[in-house]
Amino acid sequence: MSLLTALQWRYATKKMNGTKVPQEKLEYILEAARMAPSSSGLQQYKIIVVSDPRLLEKIKGIAYNQSQITDCSHLLVFAAWDEYTDERITQVFNDMMDERQLPHDTMDSYKSVILDLFETKGKEWEVHHAAKQSYISFGLAIAAAAEQKVDATPIEGFLPDQLDILLKLKEQGYRSTVLLPLGYRDEANDWLVHMKKVRTRKEVFITEMTYEDAEQSGFEAMSQGLDGLMQK
């Protein structure tokens, strides 16, 4: 099945039937999520896998009682760093250099550029930036699930602060960002299963621009400003 066919097959399943997803399919989906690119390769997020029915029941209570949380096979909880610290970033680069068998200081100049940049942005920006990276992994997990003919529901409808307490994420320096129950559709009882997939029309979604189109935008002045920042 091509990726496009898989994406046309998938939908945000509203009712799952409780069937277990085989371990090898689960691992495939998690591996696709792990392979996601991230800003500066920091992988500033992780995934918590929950399949314990008692814990799923508790999570459902803070996810507006969405039935997929308990009717799924496995729930993936995406969680991202709650801040960027020198230690965290240094650890990522040290691990990368170890795996590549290079000295730890190989990327020191790049590391100081991003640390300086992050320092100018503030804590709120850091939380958002980390969360955005987790969504790239989330998107790949959705696509991989579809490829494996596993249903998945992207879920933002939950109370992240409460989930962070329940899953002890705060003390680990993480915040939950988004949920992905994996399982199989309950065809007989899911109102969405046979509905047409609707997307923004191509001509609205995609526009092409030329140099001439951009010429009037005032970009010259802006780009000089950005160059100045990157030379810091």
Binding site for ligand FMN (CB under 6 A): 11-12, 14, 66, 153-157, 178, 197
- Name the residue with the smallest CB distance to ligand FMN: 157
Q: H or E segment at 150?
A: none
Structure tokens at 7: 């994406």
Cβ partners under 8 Å of residue 229, min gap 6: 117
Query: Measured from the CB of residue 91, what is the shortest distance to ligand FMN in angstroms?
Result: 29
Closest CB to ligand FMN among residues 89, 143: 143
Closest CB to ligand FMN among residues 66, 137: 66
Cα dihedral: 175, 157, 162, 29 (round 10): -50
- CA dist., res. 51 & res. 77, Å (int): 11
Query: Measured from the CB of residue 120, what is the shortest distance to ligand FMN in angstroms?
Result: 28
DSSP 3-46: HHHHHHH--B-S-B--PPPPHHHHHHHHHHHHT---GGG---EE
Closest CA to 52 of 75, 78, 36, 19: 75
Query: Measured from the CB of residue 99, what is the shortest distance to ligand FMN in angstroms?
Result: 32
Query: Measured from the CB of residue 63, what is the shortest distance to ligand FMN in angstroms?
Result: 7
Is 177 in contact with 161 (CB distance < 8 Å)? no
DSSP 190-214: -TTTTSPP----HHHH-----HHHH
Closest CB to ligand FMN among residues 50, 107: 50
Query: Measured from the CB of residue 13, what is the shortest distance to ligand FMN in angstroms?
Result: 8
Closest CB to ligand FMN among residues 98, 156: 156
Closest CB to ligand FMN among residues 64, 110: 64
